[in-house]
Structure 1
Amino acid sequence: GSTFKPFVYGAAFDKGLLPTDTLMDSAVEIPLGRRQVWRPTDGNKPPSDMPMTLSDGLAYSKNTITAQLMQQVGPVRVAQLARAMGVRESKLDVVPSLALGTSPVTLKEMVAAYGTIASAGSYHAPRVITRIEDKNGKVLEEFAPAAPERALGLTAAQQLRNALRGVVDKGTGVAIRSRWGISADVAGKTGTTQDNTDGWFILMHPQLVAGAWVGFNDGRITLRSDYWGQGAHSALPMVGEVFQRALRTKVIDTSERFIDDEESSWMGSAVSGVRNWVYDLFGRRTGGPDAPDSAPGAVPGTGATPAASAPAEAQQPEITEAPLVPLENATPRAQPLPPVTYDEEPEATSPEVAPVPQPGVVITTPPPPQPQPQPQPQPGIVVTTPVQRGAVVPAPVPARGNVPFFVETRP
């Protein structure tokens, strides 16, 4: 889902783009080959046709902005950066829709990657066990952390972290401030997969990174509504409860702040002081507790749906892959990373290759086969019917204090 978008923005900032750079929030068409076109949208809300900064595009989880940015940096670079930052086990399909998180990943990988952002671009491998003690408290074995690896440039990592602050200060994760009352210096991202299959939320603090995933083992079963399908409503309350208790029990320090390079100067210190004063006074940005969950005309999450065809005169942008950018001061790894999977482009005339639909792609498919008559149940015979994709089952409202699963890593 949208929790994957920071890899796109991180690659863009590492390439030299700035959070204040703007792109038009307008309809996007990306040719995929074989006469297919991908049209990512923001749910059923039309684009505003207004310029939007990259930082706001991330804060409000705009699919149209992210898709355009993906064209500039290229899927190859985004997949490479995701690998370096912590997504090291799951298969990543190098296609444009990767920008919206269409490749399944694990919560452990994503929390580790956000730990890289919290650590200003340094990857720290997660440790499940730190030491083993006997019943008397004697340490039998200790497991030292692996040496950190530089995954993202320092400046780009700080720009990305500051942009993710906007998610909780004014964007799709504003409930962390307004509902859960967390005034600490935090940054994070919400996420929703297509058809409300999964809800995600990951939150970062200088001393703690925690994430939650809400979904089912069977991907054909989805959450019961668009409301509960959004990570801001399903996964965010779990992380909010964890952080609330961590702050209340002094597991983490409320006064701890993310430190940026420019804060070493007197001007940077003054800016940081004003920002900290605002946090302490209001517990959020000046947008107030009633700030909407998304920007006007924006829908959180990544539910990309087919959109109406663009005007005929609209020029279809070309897809170009940016050259691989070497990671700065990268530490050699003991074992190679899993390779990124590249899908081979079949010949257009090959009748054996069926088009693979992307989120939001409108394609023509053969008519479905006629349904076969179902066998009638006989006495003593059990007839089972497979669950169809899209079946809706009630999902319980996450209870406060009942966190089924979360992963944490300390930068």
Structure 2
Amino acid sequence: MAVSKAEAKRKEDLRGNVILFWKLVALGVGLVALVLILTSWGVFGALPDHTKLENPDTDLATEIVTADGETLGKFYKDNRTPVAYEDLPQNMVDALVSTEDERFFEHSGIDGYGTLRAVAYLGSRGGASTITQQLAKNYFTDQPSSNILERIGQKLKEWIISIRLERQYTKEEIIAQYLNQIDFLYNADGVRSASRIYFGKEPKNLNVEESAVIVAMLKNPRQYNPRREISKEKSLQRRNQVFVQMVRNDKMTETVKDSLRAQPIELDYNPEGHNDGMATYFREYLRSWLDNWIEENPNPEDGEKYNIYRDGLKVNVTIDSRMQNIAERAVTSHMKNLQAEFDKQNRNLKTAPFRDVTEEEVNEKILGTAMRRSERWRLMKAQGKSDAEIKKSFLEKTDMTIFSWNGNVDTVMTPIDSIRYYKKFLQAGMMSMEPQTGHVKAWVGGINHEHFKYDHVKKGKRQPGSTFKPFLYATAIDLLRYSPCRVYSDGEYTIPAGRYGNMKDWSPKNSSGGYGNMRTLKDGLANSVNTISARLMDEVGPQAVLDRVKTLGIDTSNMSAQPALALGTEDVSLYEMVAAYGVFANGGIYNEPVLVTSIEDKNGTVLYQYVPESKDVLNPEVAYVTVKLMEGVTQIGSGARLKDTWRVNQSYANILTDYPYGISKEQDIAGKTGTTQNQSDGWFMGMVPNLVTGVWVGGEDRSVHFPTITYGQGASMALPIWGSFMKGVYKDESIGISKEPFPRPTDLSIQVDCAVYDMENGTNGEDSGDDSDELDM
């Protein structure tokens, strides 16, 4: 049958249209291909090369890791510590892929189906960005532009970079990099920080509902944040939508979904700011230590200095997180109760919290000096303000947040009143060290790092009082071979003026009175008998004591060889005292306190490795005999209240909250309490064979102190912290603190067993007076 011309014409037109269509399609594909090629060549803007893809420019936090493997804290610009795919829970991977990119494991960086769907429905049924594209955008492209042409250019770059990322990395590596890159707010940069901050655990330990909360935040960390009051409900709804997506992708059953949807979001918020978490004072000291190390150890590859805020270093430290936690609890518990008693005793004091001064001296010397040393003064001075203008500003009320033992308080106060307010708080320092290695296990530099920055472990130096006496006794044992059982009279004793350069006669008093008794050296040290210390000092000479102290690692450059040295009149740091006492516990071997065992870069390459250095500074026999002397403090002296047999005097009951300390009468503990003049400083140094711990308590100013020795002595101010700490570390048997006797030298020739004398003439330690020292020169 013949075809009409019209039909032929219609078929010809149809054929032409089909050809035209395919030409247009080919042209469109060609144009897209051309644009992609040009984009890949960088015509529309530079693209990262392979080296950038291998090493994206990301700020990584320096992580501080304890001896028991816990993260102690971080130094950061962005609080980001990357985790490997293997450290992610499978439930998080399932939630992420189900919610953000269902065909992630099927495409090569660009989801063609998702792209066509987004174009066809103009994005109303979801976007087209894959996980890889989002990673590319986070790494290498700018914020989305409002200009449509620029936005298209950005999208093309994302495509090219995504394809290159897929070639460079495995799917698993892309997932890990993506989760490591996201900012989840509250200093939670990356999934590891988010997991620790919002839920208090490592990512691998997250359950499915916790993982779903984190995945829910990916869409918009602020809008779906579970901690913000305004977004809690949206966060819950978004989390539940993640469950729906997991069911859709066969990663969860309907039954499990329905069960989980009914549960609220439960957070365990653990902020990771520089004033948050454990060992804040230690971390601040470590920061300065690292700054010094960086100055002396540039990167060997490029000669540049390491940056602790960007380079992702890993610093392995000696601190034990279990012991640090126990130490901080011990300090907080005791200091809160001690402060309450201190405030009660100051209620009717006109110059409170200062004693032994007039109100004029308070204003001119104490507050005036503090005002001139303040940050406010420094900043206003830099602005060109006059002294009068600055002083006036200290009298103007302003809004501020102040510290209290019941939490921060928002109030209105003048800056000068705030200075006086903060001066009333008693401070504390505590350090614990393993003497055999020098490893510092706990470091508490104060009561609250946010409000009190000064570190009382390393930076602070105060008179040690009677805790200095073991150095005198050790000198006598070493030079004169004295036994702890050697008997002395505790009668008055005078070292005449000029004998050792002292300007006047020196006749120290015994704070608890009672003269004319015969005492062993062990009893004399246990009860801090000053007159016996004066006799020993006269026998060995101050210079010999000073020389001995120097060998024990204490800085003596500002000390003078005066007789009063026997009573601890020269300032020392708690750090030095713990290290020096460690010599006694370690058989005469000195180990300088160790803080850092190694430093690694972000790739695990070791940059620094501590090499132990020990020095024999004391005869092992002398060290052991000194230890046996100090055991008397906890047997018959002011430290006897550590033992279960001590009866609590009612006057102490409100501060001894952790008594009894679980330490038996038979257990060997060596130690020494110390109290300085006017009760300005309270000390306790305590030792067991594998742990030496020192505690100091006092006011920031020496005029801030208790009015009497009852609460003002070291046995009341400092010893309870030591007791609470030891009670805690003994309770955790995994820490391994020794309850054994101190190792006895095989060739011991000095008599150390004074039990017979102690039972007949010693005190029972129930209320053994005090250890306050008269420090008048």
Measure, in 2, the Cα distance between the counterparts of 1:161 and 1:246. Answer: 21
Aligned partner of 1:46 among 499, 502, 514: 514
Verify: 1:37 aligned to 2:505, yes or no: yes
Aligned residues of 2:471 and 2:545 also touching (Cα < 8 A)? yes
Kindly provide the CA deviation profile for residues 5-43 of structure 1, in whole angstroms up to 9, marking residues without a partner as x: 001100000011221211111011221238722221112
- Counterpart secondary structure, 2:639: coil
Q: Is the 8 A contact 2:691 2:737 kept in 1?
A: no
Secondary structure in structure 2 of the residue aligned to 1:222: coil
Name the CA distance, whole Å, in 1 between partners of 2:640 and 2:663.
10
Task: Check conservation: 1:125, 1:145, Cα contact below 8 A.
Answer: no
3-state SS of the aligned residue for 1:32? coil
Q: Point out the structure with max Rg over C-alpha.
A: 2
Counterpart of 2:443?
Answer: none
Contact 1:200–1:231 (Cα < 8 Å) also in 2: yes
1:182 deviates by: 1.8
Q: Which letter maps to 2:628?
A: N
Distance apart, 1:134 and its partner CA: 6.1
2:683, 2:748 → 1: CA distance? 35
Deviation at 1:287, TM superposition (A): 11
Paired letter, 2:541: G
Supply the distance in 2 between the matched residues of 1:217 and 1:172 (Cα, whole angstroms). Answer: 25
Residue identity in the other structure for 1:244 = K
Unaligned segments of structure 2, at least 5 residues: 1-464, 645-659
RMSD: 3.0
1:24 equivalent in alignment to 2:24: no
Q: Summarize the Cα distance change of 1:263–1:84 in structure 2 as closer, same or farther, 3 Å threshold.
A: closer
Quick one: structure 1 residues 153 and 20, their matched pair in 2 at CA, closer, same or farther if it must change by over 3 Å? Answer: same
Cα distance change, pair 39–261 in 1 and its aligned pair in 2 (3 A): same
| CA-CA distance at 1:44 after TM superposition | 5.1
Does residue 244 (structure 1) correspond to residue 709 (structure 2)? The answer is: no
1:140 CA drift (Å): 4.8
Aligned to 2:618: 152
Task: Say whether the 8 Å CA contact 2:630–2:670 is kept in structure 1.
Answer: yes
In structure 1, what is the equivalent of residue 451 of structure 2? none
Residues 134 and 101 of structure 1, relative CA distance in 2, 3 Å threshold: same
Q: Does 1:12 align with 2:460?
A: no
In the alignment, which of 765, 768, 774 is matched to residue 291 of structure 1?
765
TM (normalized to structure 1)? 0.63
**Structure 1 residue 119: deviation in Å?**
0.5
Structure 2 CA distance for aligned equivalents of residues 264 and 360 of structure 1 = 38
Instruction: Spell out, residue by residue over 1:288-320, the C-alpha distance to the aligned partner (whole angstroms, 9 max, x if none).
Output: 9963342xxxx432331xxxxxxxxxxxxxxxx
Deviation at 1:249, TM superposition (A): 1.0
CA distance in 1, matches of 2:634, 2:557: 28
What SS does the corresponding residue of 1:69 show, helix, strand or coil? Answer: helix
* The structure with more helix, counted as a fraction of residues: 2
Percent sequence identity over matched residues? 39
Could you tell me which residue of structure 2 aligns to residue 349 of structure 1?
none
1:257 matches 2:748: no
* SS of structure 1 residue aligned to 2:628: helix
Once the two structures are superposed, residues 226-262 of structure 1 have per-residue CA deviations (whole angstroms, 9 ceiling, x without a partner) of 2221000000011111111111112233443311114
The TM-score, its normalising length taken from structure 2, stands at 0.35
| Structure with bigger RCO (C-alpha 8 Å, 6+ apart) | 1
Aligned pair count?
Answer: 286
Distance (Å, rounded) in 1 between the aligned partners of 2:497 and 2:581? 30
Say if 2:772 is the partner of 1:302. Answer: yes
Q: Which amino acid aligns with 2:741?
A: R
How does 1:164-179 map onto structure 2 within 5 Å? 164-178=630-644, 179=660
Residue 221 of structure 1 corresponds to 704
Query: What are structure 1's unaligned runs of at least 5 residues?
Result: 276-284, 305-358, 362-411
Q: Which residue of 1 aligns with 2:599?
A: 132
- Structure 2 partner of 1:324: none
Does structure 1 conserve the Cα–Cα contact (< 8 Å) formed by 2:673 and 2:685?
Answer: yes
Separation (CA, whole Å) in 2 of partners of 1:123 and 1:31: 35
User: How far off its partner does 1:62 sit?
Assistant: 0.8
C-alpha contact (below 8 Å) 1:90/1:104 kept by paired residues: no
The residue type paired with residue 113 of structure 1 is A
Q: Does 1:2 align with 2:460?
A: no
CA distance in 2, matches of 1:97, 1:137: 53
Matched residues in 2 for 1:263 and 1:241: separation? 36
Q: 1:60 aligns with which of 524, 527, 530?
A: 527
Structure-2 change in CA distance of 1:135 and 1:286 (3 Å)? farther
